[in-house]
Amino acid sequence: MADGHTLTATGTTALAHGDYLDDPKGLMSWLTTVDHKRIGIMYLWSITFFMIVGGLFAMLIRIEHLTPTRTIMDAEMYNRVFTLHGAIMVFLVIIPAIPASLGNFALPLLLGAKDVAFPRINLMSLYLYWTGALMALGTLFMGGVDTGWTFYTPYSTTTGGGVTLMVFAAFVLGFSSIFTGVNFIATVHKLRAPGMGWFEMPLFCWGMYSTALIQILATPVLGITLLLLAMERLFHIGIFDPQLGGDPVLFQHFFWFYSHPAVYIMILPAMAVMSEVIPVFSKKTIFGYKAIAFSSVAIALLGFLVWAHHMFVAGMSIYAGAIFSFLTFFIAIPSAIKVFNWIATMWEGSIELRSPMLYAIAFLLVFTIGGLTGLFLASLSTDVHLHDTYFVVAHFHYVMAGSNLLALLAGLHYWWPKMFGRLYNESLARIGCVLVFLGFNATFIPQFIMGSRGMPRRYYNYLPQFQALHVASTIGAMLLAVGLFLTLANLLASFRRPKGMVDNPWGGKTLEWATSSPPPTENFEGQPVPLHGPYDYRAVPAPIGSEVHTG
Amino acid sequence: MSQATTTVHAEHDHPQFLQHHFNDMGQQFDATKIGMWLFLVTEVLLFGGLFVGYGIMRAKHPEAFMAAHHQLNRTMGSINTIVLLVSSFTMVMGVWAAQTSRKKLLILFLVLTLLCACTFLGIKFFEYQHKFEEGLLPGSFYTHQGDTVPGQFMFFSFYFMMTGLHGIHVLCGMGAITWLLRRAIRGDFNASYYGPVDLVGLYWHLVDMIWIYLFPLMYLIS
């Protein structure tokens, strides 16, 4: 492992076929493909589409809150809008965002594999995603859903509208997520390149593996919970309805037994992207490889023991509350270990502030704010006051939305040349990054302040004293939207450039950079073998542009 | 596993059922086996939610569950338990027959397993029919007359949810075994390729095992 530049037996010239984007051509060849790269790309566009839809609902919420009373919609409509915003963003955007798009694309390449273990199940996952997405949108024609994305009983078993359809949509999307998880675990176990041991894998793979563990262990419980909820609505089976002798708090336990681990489905992939981007742009070996790898697994497992911290005020035993509070503090440790390791990686590295690295640094700031504000909510006594306020809203947007989004954009800017063989405009990408970062903070810092002053979440009206902060938050959201559209336009504009000009623009050392950009359908010519570790920058670092070739 | 004889450069002697992205049959067998075990984990957790719900509701309403379970037919339940246990045995013999390239025995054991599954569903049909006639149905459809203990509908909510979901799994298993049977008759399976038989076998044992937990919880409350 001491030296070595390239990792494959062959170079990147004259492929037998075209790259995976063109070989074969045609819409049908995309819709029936089993190629993990194409499935990843189709997931990417689908997620982008639903992020815009969910974002539009978010903008409606923010515009409504420009005034303390009615601005553009009535209270019932407001309930449906925030429910759809939450449900679309959680189930259709954040959960699949990184694993199903970047993960599907990059994981087999990073492992030196030809595909994921079960390519057809991978395609099925995408079709289930589309089915679930159509069902979720179908609720719009059934009077919408007004329960919030958490579907709390007994309200969700008594209200009208398309709750049952939405619940089945989430059920179907759960299977889509499970299929991705099964694929990733089997792929990591069995399709690593010869000679690549568990601790020679790039850390992205550890992150995806831990994510997949949660997808497999938590999602079925959500599946059965939603099925029970649907049965309660259709047959009044009695399990969650107190009038029939059931227990509505049981629903909350079931729901959070999935949905708390699910927030780690959202954040672990973000952390996985960080572990790739930061060493590459620091030109330095990752600090604390094993600590990062094991902390991913620790987060995945500890994540199952903290669900009831969502229920401190739901009438739970105070002793149970104390235990869940302690465990919640405990899970902050592996997250902090990761942050410290990334910072230590950057220490004395030769940092290049390219757009992926800018996003990574933005992630570190946003995730740290999100993590530290979580401690207030983990403490029993402060949570009693902050529960169901905008403080909670701001906290979970920092960890779920902001961190996930910034990491997705970091990974997207990092792997964009790999995906499409083209570079975007770097200056515009940096401006986009700054706008997204500022816009995000401007949206949610006012919400922290409002929440700590008692502004309750999910309220249609509010006291006039909160108006200035609400307006500030809305302006921030508009800034965020401008930044995101600029970023999207900048990425799309790269398609006007010629393809195949950049094989390894960042000088990355992991296996995906050892093949051409975009890669051929079969990923590599022959079986690649890693000749050095994934973060081995001890050799003379390749300067930017040195590996650009023409044609 | 042990039959891994092909190598990375297997273009010339490419085994018939080797998928393009695997290097050899051993890798394919191991990967698909991991996949099946992971799927079974999700199945256990899916039913796990129902078992937890059952446990909590039974603890809340012990008298109702006790009274309601007397409506079930223990004899039919016991026969079904034995039928499923026998089907697990025939299934495992089927796997053995595939591993040892005994085509006719494999077909025989698969047919026997299918017959057991049909018997199970047949008995289940008569049980359900009785419940429908008596109005012993879940939730708001419960119309049974003359109950002394209130709230028995809850037991039947769980009875139908759990045995119904299990029944759907039996049906899926029968579909999978029929598919195996077709391939077995075609002669696909032998000592160097029997993965699908093994995997469906694993699934079938899980379906069997879930029933082994369902039976005492539903029929033998004391």
Tell me the CATH number at A260. Answer: 1.20.210.10
| Closest CA–CA distance from residue A113 to any residue of chain B (Å) | 8
Give the confidence band of A17 by pLDDT, cuts at 50, 70, 90: low
**Domain hosting residue A239, numbered range:** 27-514
CB contact under 8 A, B157 and A186: no
- Position A304 pLDDT exceeds 90: yes
Identify from B9, B38, B40, B47 which residue to disrupt to test chain A contact, counting A C-beta atoms within 10 A and taking the largest count. Answer: B38
**Is there a contact between B35 and A223 if contact means CB atoms under 8 Å apart?**
no
Interchain pair B56, A247: CB under 8 A: yes
CA distance A297 to A390: 31
Q: Between the CA of residue A460 and those of A124, A309, A536, what are the distances in Å?
A: 40, 26, 54
Token pair, residue A549, equals 């070739």
* pLDDT tens digits, one per residue of A243-292: 889 999 999 999 999 999 999 999 999 999 999 999 999 999 999 999 99
Kindly state whether residue A324 falls inside one of the protein's structural domains: yes
Residue A503: its pLDDT value, please? 87
**Which residue is it, tokens 């850390």?**
A203
Give the pLDDT score at A506. 93
Q: How far apart are CA A248 and CA A230, in angstroms?
A: 14
Do B218 and B66 contact (CB within 8 A), yes or no? no
| CA distances (Å), origin B193, targets A128, A545, B97 | 30, 49, 12
Strand partners, A548: A502
Q: Is B133 helix (H, G, I), strand (E, B) or coil?
A: helix
Nearest to B49 among A113, A225, A238 (CB): A225
Q: Is the pLDDT of residue B9 over 70?
A: no
Q: Encode pLDDT of A85-136 as tens digits.
A: 999 999 999 999 999 999 999 999 999 999 999 999 999 999 999 999 999 9
Q: How high is the pLDDT of residue B13?
A: 64
CB pair distance less than 8 Å for A216 and B35: no
Gap between the Cα atoms of B107 and B154, Å rounded: 43
Q: Is the pLDDT of residue B92 over 80?
A: yes
Average pLDDT over residues A31-39: 96
pLDDT score of A6 more than 80? no
Helix, strand, coil percentages in chain A from 3-state DSSP, rounded to 5: 70, 0, 30
Alpha carbon distance B81, B208 (integer Å): 8
Q: For residue A501, tell me if it sits in a domain.
A: yes
Q: pLDDT at position B8, please?
A: 44
pLDDT reported for residue A24: 85
Read off the pLDDT of residues B106-153 as tens digits, 9 standing for 90 and up: 999 999 999 999 999 999 999 999 999 999 998 888 988 888 888 899
Q: Which residues of A touch B21 (CB under 8 A)?
A: 113-117, 119, 191
Please say if the pLDDT value at position A550 is more than 80.
no
Nearest CA to A267 among A187, A224, A358, A331? A331
Pair of tokens at residue B179: 């598919």
* Residue A2 pLDDT level (bands cut at 50, 70, 90): very low
Closest-CA distance, B95 to chain A, in angstroms, reads 23
What letter does residue A425 receive in the DSSP assignment? P
CB contact under 8 A, B31 and A117: yes
User: How far is B189 from chain A, CA to nearest CA, in Å?
Assistant: 21
Asked if residue A532 is part of any domain, the answer here is: no
Q: Which residues of A touch B140 (CB under 8 A)?
A: 235-236
Q: Which residue of B has its CA nearest to A528?
A: B8
Residue-averaged pLDDT of chain B: 91
Question: Domain for residue A10, yes or no?
Answer: no
Domain for residue A543, yes or no?
no
Of B20, B35, B61, nearest to A186 by CB-CB distance is B35
Is ipTM beyond 0.85?
yes
Nearest chain B residue to A113, by CA: B21
Longest dimension (CA), chain B: 75
Ordered structural domains, chain B, with CATH: 25-219 (1.20.120.80)
In chain B, what residues touch A250 (CB-CB under 8 Å)? 53, 56
Model-level pTM?
A: 0.92
Cβ–Cβ below 8 Å for B38 and A185: yes
- CB-nearest to B61 from A183, A187, A245 is A245
Lowest mean pLDDT among A5-9, A73-77, A443-447, B93-97: A5-9
- Tokens 């672990």 belong to which residue? A268
| Residue A28 CB-half CA count within 13 A | 0
- The per-residue pLDDT for B123 is 97
CA-to-CA dists, residue A542 to A77, A280, A364, A517, A539, angstroms: 56, 11, 26, 17, 9
Closest CA of chain B from A191, distance in Å: 8
CA dihedral A496, A497, A500, A501 (to 10 degrees): -170
Q: Is the pLDDT of residue A545 over 60?
A: no
Mean pLDDT of A43-66: 97
Phi, psi for residue A480 in degrees, rounded to 5:
-60, -45
Instruction: Report how far residue A330's alpha carbon sits from residue A543's, in angstroms, rounded to the nearest whole number.
Output: 42
Domain count, chain A: 1
Q: Are A99 and A208 in contact (CB under 8 A)?
A: yes
Mean pLDDT, chain A, whole residue set? 92
CA distance A86 to A223: 18
Residue entry with tokens 């939305």: A401
Name which of B34, B52, B141 is nearest A189 (Cβ-Cβ).
B34
Taking the mean position of all CA atoms in its chain, how far away is CA A227? 25
Q: Which residues of B touch A (CB under 8 A)?
A: 8, 19-23, 27, 30-32, 34-35, 38-39, 41-43, 45-50, 52-53, 56-57, 60-61, 138-141, 151, 153-154, 157-158, 161
Tokens of A351: 């940092």
The torsion defined by the Cα of A57, A63, A67 and A71, in degrees rounded to 10, comes to: -70
**How far is it, in rounded angstroms, from Cα A480 to Cα A474?**
10
Helix segments in A240-288, DSSP class H: 248-282
Tens of pLDDT, residue by residue over B153-189, are 999 999 999 999 999 999 999 999 999 999 999 999 9
The residues of A whose Cβ lies within 8 A of any Cβ of B are 113-119, 121, 178, 181-183, 185-187, 189-191, 194, 216-217, 219-221, 223-225, 228, 231-232, 235-239, 244-247, 250, 254, 527
Spatial CA neighbour of A280 closest among A334, A204, A373, A200: A204
CA B77 to chain centroid, in Å, comes to 16
Are the C-beta atoms of residues A220 and A262 closer than 8 Å to each other?
no
Rg (chain A; Cα; Å): 23
Out of B31, B50, B139, name the one closest to residue A190 (CB).
B31
Q: Answer yes or no: is A85 within a domain.
A: yes
Residues of chain A contacting B141 with CB distance shorter than 8 Å: 235
Mean pLDDT calculated for residue range A31-41: 96
CA–CA gap between residue A375 and residue A382 (Å, rounded): 9
Quote the minimal CA–CA distance from B36 to chain A in Å.
9
Please indicate, yes or no, if residue A328 is contained in any of the structural domains.
Answer: yes
Query: Does A169 score more than 60 pLDDT?
Result: yes
Give the percent of chain A with pLDDT over 90. 87
Looking at the partner chain, which of A114, A232, A239 has a beta carbon nearest the beta carbon of B57? A239
